Chains A and B, each alone.
Chain A
Amino acid sequence: MSFRKLGLGLAAATMLAGMALPAFAQDSVYVPLFTYRTGPFAGSGTHIADGMHDYLRMLNERDGGIGGVKLALEECETGYDTKKGVECYESVKGKNPVIVNPWSTGITLPLIPRASVDKIPILSMAYGLSASARGDIFPWVFNPPATYWDGLSMIVKYIGEKEGGLEKLKGKKIGFLHLDAAFGKEPIPLLQEMAKDIGFEVALYPVAAQDMQNQSSQWLSARRDRPDYMIMWGWGSMNGAAVKEAVRSGYPMDKFYSVWWPGEDDARAGGAGAKGFKMLNWHAVGTNFPAIQDIQKHVVDKGLSKAQKDKVGELLYNRGVYNSLLIAEGIAQAQKVTGKKVVTGEDVRRGMENIKLDPARLKELGLEGFTDQLVLSCSDHNGHRAAFMQEWDGTKWVKISKPIEPMTDRVKGQLEAAAKDYADKNAGWPKRSEACDKAS
């Protein structure tokens, strides 16, 4: 019957094609990049994908890889869709990837339990499951440099400082405009806890995923409630739409804060009125770094990149570069720890735990001043690093603050409860069996 023929035909085609795929040479390290250049989030995803690809490609072109070993790069298109992301994971799994970066919380969640079984570390850079910052419970998952709880505490701290002390927030009203999904709702318990302790009021404005581009009702309520500050937790087209709506409804932009996901295009969406919009960030924008100039020289100018020349150095492009910096550093550390040249996923997991990006190391990499230092360890897979505030001046982002440390004492409780909760709910969650390196 046709179902049989179809099945057999497809199976045969799949196997043939599988054989036809180029076998990666044994003397290279395979790094799959999950990217999304298509679909509703492509606007942000394309720049991140370019940044990720170009930095690693630059290492290949300039240094011949890492430690003399070429990186075999391959992009897998996820379209920010969990189905396709899981398919990507399955298709790269057999080729011994040293690390995967899902670039979507939806894709990260199904992969977390598999990481320890397949021995493939996951790098979910400041997204995914916040609780995975705990290395003792999630040895295979890394989410540096800060969790969303850290981010929220930094914004509240910054606002508090502007008011002249956290206690001055008493009686104020803070609006929280968030994507109505796990990602956007995660900070709410912490925000409410702080509201109770400090005495400010919280107004929640959830935006459903299907209404991201239509936020008129939320901003209408905001106009009625008149929150003193507005904090946004959005992604994709939600950010641009929010900036536009805020400008339209006359919300004072200097009171509008966001977590680290909007890009230049989102701020530009608001036109001249968007001036004053602030967001957290942990790395520099611009091309004024030797490593990024090397990217321009070795990759972009040679036509090896898909990026438009003027997009190099923009916020989300550099975000991709930062992501690849962590991958490269994980591989480099793995080579140092194990003494091997061609490392495996297990080695890179150890390498990630040994990451120590201090100013000296950053200078060595040609990224001096690009970002604050980051030290990961066996128990801390996040770093809980400080981020700084930057402001949109109408044409570009301007750094306006020193690094703001997260309120660790407040965040810690949330984190530990969440990690314990995850492990408890998943009865039989494996105890960490991976040994810790002495250095870390």
Chain B
Amino acid sequence: MLYREAGQFKTNYVADSAIFPLRQDRIGIGLIIIAAYALAFLGNSFLLQAVMIPFLVFSLASIGLNILTGYTGLLSLGTGAFMGVGAYACYKLMTAFPGVNVIVWIFVSGFFSAAIGALFGLPSLRIKGFYLAVATLAAQFFLQWCFIRIPWLVNYNVSGALDAPLRTLFGTPIMGPNATPQTRYLVVLTIVILLTWLASNLVHGRIGRMWIAIRDMDLAAELMGIRPLQTKLLAFAVSSYYCGVAGALLVFLWYGGAEYDVFNINQSFFILFMVIIGGLGSLIGSFFGAALIFILPIVLGIVLPAMLSPFGISVGADVIEHLRFMIVGALIIFFLIVEPHGLARLWQIGKQKLLVWPFPY
């Protein structure tokens, strides 16, 4: 009833090609953004630090991988390593030039990741599908090897770990142990909103259409005048840029310090699962996927003991952990059976049903 198109007329082409043609959608997205910012002042530090910041970081990484795998159709298993490149680049840059604001370095570190990503994307011109996945797997192992073996990357730190020094923005600490979860959340949220908006413009514009054309049939795309070399490499570069920024955010604004092992192959799979569950080729799906894979286990970990305790069943932390694995695993299978195109597709179907509700035809 409330969510319907009736009465909203498009009188020009700009309105017709808008990303959110419905007024309700525009209001909705505005409300989400306001709610997200309000959460910084309403949520407690556990919610911000252990749930929302990682959720946003993983969403950003998922958007990065979605650009490559969902929009361009190139399967990659190097996401973890590309995130690592961003984190290490950010660390080198901000320790070498402490005078420049760290926000600048977070954005710049993505370019290093983009360059490495484009380099490892070169084989994608010749090989496709699973074979490309193996080539990116090589990137994963090679880069991880570099993180361990090149002490220069961690400024010859004996512990071999990255740590977040104190950095400020407008005099408020945003990085390092003194930064409150609130300020870190606000910084992460702003960066993620900015980059999501940029990604949305990219995938809905000329470049995005080129990527989709390559994905759907690269031979046809080539005949239409799209150059595969530039398009595929651009997809790798943009994707790695997003992953790199997400990696820098992960280490410096979430963990506050990390070892090379954070960027291992499991991280790559973790992000890939988010993209597949969320929906290939969908930005909102990246957020859904991150929520399902990352937040759901946390909620289960809190809710399960609370649910079981009234029945007099007290279970240990390890049993909860096993239950988490089983429930999340079962849910993943359930969602993939119900909707193989991911949560984003479910969301789209829901919206379409809502449009004609309560008088479906």
Contacts and interface: CB of A to CB of B under 8 A. Distances in A.
Interface string A419-437: 0011001111000000000
A338 interface: no
Contacts of B157: 421-422, 425
Nearest to B157: A425
Contacts of B178: 117
Contacts of B295: 10
Contacts of A82: 255, 258-259, 261-262
Given A1-B28, A427-B166, A10 B288 contact: no
A93 B28 contact: no
A110 B255 contact: yes
Given A10-B291, A210-B264, A91 B46 contact: yes
B321 interface: yes
Interface stretch (A13-21, A158-166, A235-243): A13-21
B302 A35 contact: no
A210 B80 CA distance: 15
B177 A113 contact: yes
Interface in B50-90: 50-51, 54
A90 B50 contact: yes
Contacts of B262: 82-83, 106
A38 B325 CA distance: 10
Interface residues of A, number: 61
A251 B256 CA distance: 43
A213 interface: no
A13 B298 CA distance: 11
A11 B42 CA distance: 10
Contacts of B261: 82, 106, 181, 209
Contacts of A94: 44-46
Interface string A107-121: 001101110110000
Interface in A61-76: 74-76
A182 B161 contact: yes
A428 B306 contact: no
A64 B325 CA distance: 36
> What is the interface of chain A mostly: helix, strand, loop, or mixed?
helix
B160 A185 contact: yes
Interface in B79-119: 95, 98
A110 B177 CA distance: 9
B203 interface: no
Contacts of A112: 257
Interface string B300-343: 00110110010000001110111001000000000000000000
Nearest to B33: A4
B39 A75 contact: no
B286 to A, nearest CB: 10
A37 B321 contact: yes
A129 B36 contact: no
B202 interface: no
Nearest to A82: B262
Contact of A113 (B46, B156, B257, B264): B257
A75 B316 CA distance: 7
B165 A90 contact: no
Interface in A84-117: 86-87, 90-91, 93-94, 105-106, 109-110, 112-114, 116-117
A192 B98 CA distance: 34
Interface string B7-19: 0000000000000
B284 interface: yes
B234 to A, nearest CB: 28
Interface in A406-422: 418, 421-422
A94 B43 CA distance: 13
A121 B299 CA distance: 27
A37 B177 contact: no
Nearest to B20: A1
Contact of A4 (B35, B50, B260): B35
A428 B167 CA distance: 10
B287 to A, nearest CB: 5
A373 B284 CA distance: 59
B164 A180 contact: no
Given A7-B35, A82-B261, A427-B166, A90 B49 contact: yes
Contacts of A110: 255-258
Contact of B148 (A86, A131, A181): A181
Nearest to A427: B165
Contacts of B309: 22
A116 B176 CA distance: 12
B194 to A, nearest CB: 17
Given A38-B321, A182-B159, A186-B158, A426 B46 contact: no
A75 B45 CA distance: 21
Given A306-B316, A427-B165, A131 B350 contact: no
A139 interface: no
Contact of A17 (B163, B259, B306): B306
Highest count of chain B CB atoms <10 Å: which of A6, A8, A131: A6
A83 B54 contact: yes
Nearest to A180: B148
Contacts of B306: 17, 20-21
A208 to B, nearest CB: 8
B151 to A, nearest CB: 9
B148 A2 contact: no
A186 to B, nearest CB: 7
Contact of A427 (B44, B54, B98): B98
B98 A131 contact: no
Contacts of B32: 1, 3-4, 7
A263 interface: no
B31 interface: yes
A11 B39 contact: yes
Interface in B126-167: 148, 155-161, 163-166
A77 interface: yes
A4 B287 CA distance: 11
Nearest to B306: A20
A79 interface: yes
A287 B165 CA distance: 46
B169 interface: no
Interface of A: 1-4, 6-8, 10-11, 13-15, 17-18, 20-22, 35, 37-38, 74-77, 79, 82-83, 86-87, 90-91, 93-94, 105-106, 109-110, 112-114, 116-117, 129-131, 180-182, 185-186, 189, 209-210, 306, 418, 421-422, 425-428
15 contacts: A1-B284, A17-B302, A37-B321, A76-B317, A77-B320, A82-B258, A110-B256, A113-B256, A131-B159, A181-B160, A181-B261, A182-B260, A189-B158, A306-B316, A426-B163
Given A2-B347, A106-B259, A426-B166, 8 more contacts: A8-B35, A14-B302, A79-B321, A83-B262, A86-B255, A109-B257, A113-B256, A210-B264
